[in-house]
Structure 1
Amino acid sequence: MQNIRHRLFKGTLWLASARVATNLLSLVSTFFLARLLVPADFGLVALGTTILTIVNSVTNISLSQALVQHRAPTTDHFHTAWTLNFGRAAIIAALMAASAQPLSVFFEDTRLVSVILVLSLSMLCSGLENPRAIMLTRDLVFWQQFMLQVSQTLVSLVVSIVLAVLYQSYWALVIGTVAGQVAGVMLSYGIMPFRPRFKVVHTKELFSFSLWLTFCQIITTINWNFDQLLVGKFLGQTALGYYTVGNKIAIIPSREATAPLTVSLFPAFSRVADDRSRLAAAYQSATGLAAAIALPLGVGTALIADPLVRLTMGEKWLPTVLMIQVLACVFGFQSMFSLVQPLVMATGRTQLLFKRDLQAFAARIPLLVIGLYFGGLPGVVYARAVSGTATFFMQTSMVTQVTGLTFMEQARAHFRALAASVVMAAAVVPITMAMPDSFRPLDNALEIAALVLIGGAAYIAATLVLWMMMRRPEGPEAEILRIIDKVRNFLRRAPA
């Protein structure tokens, strides 16, 4: 167990570093491209990528997770996974190419034909990815994942920015996406050599695990992308550009704070899945730590949204401020249950995930339609806030079924993070209201720095006071202190 914890810790550091690096690069790219392109460009490309994402999800067979969960995969398992992935990608690419013209008529934009055709090539390329690369995750080895993610993002960023500077066209976004995909495929074979062959001998075995995950992926992807199609069709591409960019900025802080744990904890939970008490303890410790980091990041992003947009993207992007403010808080709140999926997957009860996603879908879609009808773009944003908060009870119920943890036991793991985030908001909101509107970069930068320092100090102080008042229980505070000690020891042992 000690060896697992040590490898898990190192793996999480690598994944966290990769997520930080890739999302810094992604944000830089977004801010830079937002200055060169117009919101309608982002909206047009978002339509193409959203359609492709939905079609991809409907046919996704979650073979990577099946390989990770398999106790002893053979070379034929990898050949089968590669064959199935490539066949699926080829069919999707052909269907997308055939539907390009009808989709352009439906969304009333002839440019969508060429965008979808190029993105179809990206889909075909993704089917060539190396299935063996996922085994590094299974073995809790993550430095290669760092290289893969960072390199792929860097290629996409460089290509997009160069093309945007030269042509100031939406094609910068499209070609950048394809270039990143091609780079990812090539690198996947560089980090884990593999010569694929066409075989389907283990198709039934791999499907037996991935079936429910496939259903989950279908429902989740439609659930999380339907709003973009709705906005694009009824409010236009400019509104969709605001919506997609605002959503991207809002989700990055809280999502990326928990993503390394989400990836690394699936194999870690799998190792203790047969011991319910150890699984419950591991989940409670990990989810408390995730919320303590991600929740204040989400709330903090909402608090600095206005000066951040003014500084990085300019006046034409001000409509995204409301979206960032609302959605960043929602994503921060949802981070408290970001580890439910790896927890349930580790126990093999993937039908619970499908049930949760189906319930969320049934609640979310009507709310989005109602929000759009009565409130336009802001109505869609508020509808997402309501639906996102409603999933709270679905998640707690699932955790209880898998681990036996009661509602109150789960709530205790998050109490201090929630209370400290409220204190942080109370300290920062009066300052933001007193600040004059400005588009001077220096004023915006100073305002962001002041808000971050004050909010961060308020959060840390409130957390420590509550922790000591509660007699220093086990939780994220104690875990963070242990992590700090481990980082110090790791750095001391690292070669100069």
Structure 2
Amino acid sequence: MSNPLYSAIKRSITGKLLTYLIQFFALAIYARIFTPEQFGIIASIQVFVIFFQLLADIGIGPAIINEDTFTKNQRNGIFTTTLILGIILAILFYCFSYFLTYFYDGYDYQNIAIIVSIGIIFNSLNIIPLTALNKDANFIKIAKIDCVTELISLSIVYYFSLLEFGAIALATRSLSQGVIKFILTWFSSAKTSLGRPYFGSELYHIKKIVGFASYQFSFNLINYFSRNLDKILIGKYIGTSALGVYEKSYQLMQYPLMLTTFAMTPAIQPVLTKLRSNVDLIVEEHNKLASRLLFISILISFFIYINSENIVIFIFGNQWERVIPLIKLFSFMIPIQSILSTSGSFYQVMNKPQLLFISGLLSATLNIIAICFGVYFNELRFIAIGLIISFSANFLQCYFIMFKYCFKRNIYLFYKKLMKAIFIASMMCALYMVLFIIMKSYLSTEIVINILQNLLLTAPSFGIFYILNRKLNFDI
């Protein structure tokens, strides 16, 4: 019974891998074209762009996926609703940009706001076509669209940077991605079970999904503030240059999550929703997926911690050296977030958005306290340390609620599987560390070669794990 899930996950990861490699390549180019301060300016406004996009979504995507049947009229009515919402929010965002100019006190955001406001409309329009592809698990097609979108956007941003538009050139990325992705997704949704959406007059169909969507939206809303308040406060009280450094550190930390958790998550709800009556099977799949994610993410986070200096300089260049101490701290969050980021999908599978909201509210409270603590001391590293502590606490409360009130099963087997994954991963990390210390004097000072040599040092650990797994059946 587990085959459909892992088949969907395999398609999702395969599709996402190429997308993230291209985004990674684009990120390295952007880091060499724009300064930390220019990145900080865009990051300071992008935080609020995400909020307005969230208001447009209002939990529509997961709510539609949760429905067993969805008619053409319902689809078209909600598609029209997303257009109306997008236009209203775009106008409100442009008006809001005047407040941003006052709030950050140092940059005129109106020119950037015009560009990103149009992008908000197209991102809103893209909700239904993208949901159509996700509902049918067309992850390869989505990945192809993302790749084309990223490459075209990169070309547009690079062109405007040559014309010396500065931060405005970087802002065109948001607009170009919104327009291009909508066009490609809309055409690609024609052969899905939901079908290609057209504008309809029956707007009242939004009521069909409002119950599920309201809890999903409430969770997304509080999750947004808990995940983005740090950027808002850093931009206000520590400065846009510091925000640029922080944003790049956090973004680099998220790339391993993108290649694991974020790539898997879209496959969970569409597949397991069909099996929600078999709770024991859902729990078994959850525990198995969590232990494998933890195992992989511990190895990745350890590698990033050891090689943080070379990784940062190789990807971003020498002007981003301030990222190094932050990425060392953020690497400790990778294992926690890798598991925690899948939790929402399992709440959705069990049709318990209200519990997801409660857990999200608790998470937001702890994260906000941690962020305010770091901002008070005016130190980026204190913010990072506070978030490590808050995410660890959130991990405990999230899974207590999930097993106690959602699955209604004993949590013991879940933690047992995680401890097994931690033990095996720790042994592999220890072997890698021994080899690293022995070979350190022989490693090249050339950054690229040094990273490749370090990757080769991991090979014996994986080899030993593979042999023991076949002999002892670790089952993680």
TM-score when scaled to structure 1?
0.87
Report the CA distance between 1:77 and its aligned residue. 1.6
Using a 3 Å threshold, how does the CA distance of structure 1 residues 418 and 88 change in structure 2: closer, same or farther? same
Distance 1:313 1:368 in 2: 25
User: Which residue is equivalent to 1:29?
Assistant: 26
Report the CA distance between 1:209 and its aligned residue. 1.3
User: Which residue is equivalent to 2:91?
Assistant: 94
User: Which residue is equivalent to 1:185?
Assistant: 182
Q: Which moved more, 1:328-337 or 1:47-56?
A: 328-337
Tell me whether 1:107 sits opposite 2:104 in the alignment: yes
2:228 alignment partner, one of 225, 229, 252? 225
2:414 alignment partner, one of 410, 426, 429? 410
SS in 2 for 1:24: helix
The residue type equivalent to 1:189 in the other structure is: W
Distance 2:319 2:437 in 1: 21
Report the CA distance between 1:404 and its aligned residue. 3.8
- Taking the TM superposition and a 5 Å limit, the aligned residue runs for 1:267-282 are 267-282=270-285
- Taking the TM superposition and a 5 Å limit, the aligned residue runs for 1:291-302 are 291-302=294-305
Which digits, 9 at most, give the CA deviation of each residue in 1:331-378, with x for residues without a partner?
222213332211110111111111111101111112211122225111
Distance 1:275 1:35 in 2: 51
Which digits, 9 at most, give the CA deviation of each residue in 1:29-50, with x for residues without a partner?
1111211211001000001110
User: Which residue is equivalent to 1:157?
Assistant: 154
Tell me whether 1:239 sits opposite 2:234 in the alignment: no
Report the CA distance between 1:213 and its aligned residue. 0.3
User: Which residue is equivalent to 2:11?
Assistant: 14
Report the CA distance between 1:244 and its aligned residue. 0.6
1:249 alignment partner, one of 247, 252, 264? 252
Tell me whether 1:377 sits opposite 2:374 in the alignment: no
The residue type equivalent to 1:159 in the other structure is: I
User: Which residue is equivalent to 2:310?
Assistant: 307
Which digits, 9 at most, give the CA deviation of each residue in 1:76-110, with x for residues without a partner?
22112212212221121111111212211210123
Tell me whether 1:49 sits opposite 2:52 in the alignment: no
SS in 1 for 2:379: helix
Distance 2:454 2:337 in 1: 23
Distance 1:434 1:265 in 2: 42
User: Which residue is equivalent to 2:80?
Assistant: 83
Assess if the C-alpha contact under 8 Å between 2:56 and 2:82 holds in 1: no
Using a 3 Å threshold, how does the CA distance of structure 1 residues 244 and 433 change in structure 2: closer, same or farther? farther
How many pairs were matched up?
467
2:217 alignment partner, one of 209, 214, 217? 214
The residue type equivalent to 1:412 in the other structure is: K
Distance 1:50 1:155 in 2: 23
Using a 3 Å threshold, how does the CA distance of structure 1 residues 330 and 88 change in structure 2: closer, same or farther? same
Q: Which moved more, 1:216-225 or 1:290-299?
A: 290-299
Using a 3 Å threshold, how does the CA distance of structure 1 residues 12 and 154 change in structure 2: closer, same or farther? farther
Q: Which moved more, 1:338-347 or 1:147-156?
A: 147-156
The residue type equivalent to 2:73 in the other structure is: D
2:205 alignment partner, one of 199, 202, 207? 202
- Taking the TM superposition and a 5 Å limit, the aligned residue runs for 1:312-323 are 312-323=315-326
Which digits, 9 at most, give the CA deviation of each residue in 1:300-341, with x for residues without a partner?
223221111122322221110122122132022221333221
2:68 alignment partner, one of 68, 71, 89? 71
Which digits, 9 at most, give the CA deviation of each residue in 1:96-152, with x for residues without a partner?
111212211210123322112211111012222261442333233333222222222
1:366 alignment partner, one of 364, 369, 372? 369
Assess if the C-alpha contact under 8 Å between 2:15 and 2:139 holds in 1: no
Distance 1:417 1:157 in 2: 39
Report the CA distance between 1:60 and its aligned residue. 3.5
The residue type equivalent to 1:97 in the other structure is: Y
The residue type equivalent to 2:473 in the other structure is: R
The residue type equivalent to 2:312 in the other structure is: V
TM-score when scaled to structure 2?
0.91
Assess if the C-alpha contact under 8 Å between 1:250 and 1:328 holds in 2: yes
Which digits, 9 at most, give the CA deviation of each residue in 1:252-308, with x for residues without a partner?
112321223211111111011111112212222222233333332233223221111
Q: Which moved more, 1:402-411 or 1:97-106?
A: 402-411
Assess if the C-alpha contact under 8 Å between 1:291 and 1:417 holds in 2: yes
Distance 1:89 1:258 in 2: 29
Report the CA distance between 1:167 and its aligned residue. 2.6
Q: Which runs of 5+ in 2 are unaligned?
A: 191-195
Report the CA distance between 1:433 and its aligned residue. 11
Which digits, 9 at most, give the CA deviation of each residue in 1:230-271, with x for residues without a partner?
111111111001011111111111232122321111111101
User: Which residue is equivalent to 1:472?
Assistant: 473
Assess if the C-alpha contact under 8 Å between 1:295 and 1:336 holds in 2: no
- 4+ runs of 1 displaced by more than 6 Å? none
SS in 2 for 1:348: coil
Distance 2:399 2:428 in 1: 26
SS in 1 for 2:399: helix
Distance 1:14 1:463 in 2: 24
Tell me whether 1:419 sits opposite 2:423 in the alignment: yes
The residue type equivalent to 1:43 in the other structure is: G
Distance 2:467 2:364 in 1: 38
Report the CA distance between 1:406 and its aligned residue. 2.8
SS in 2 for 1:73: coil
SS in 1 for 2:347: helix
The residue type equivalent to 1:247 in the other structure is: Y
SS in 1 for 2:69: coil
Distance 1:434 1:51 in 2: 47
Using a 3 Å threshold, how does the CA distance of structure 1 residues 166 and 17 change in structure 2: closer, same or farther? farther
Aligned CA-pair RMSD: 2.5
Report the CA distance between 1:456 and its aligned residue. 5.0
SS in 1 for 2:58: coil
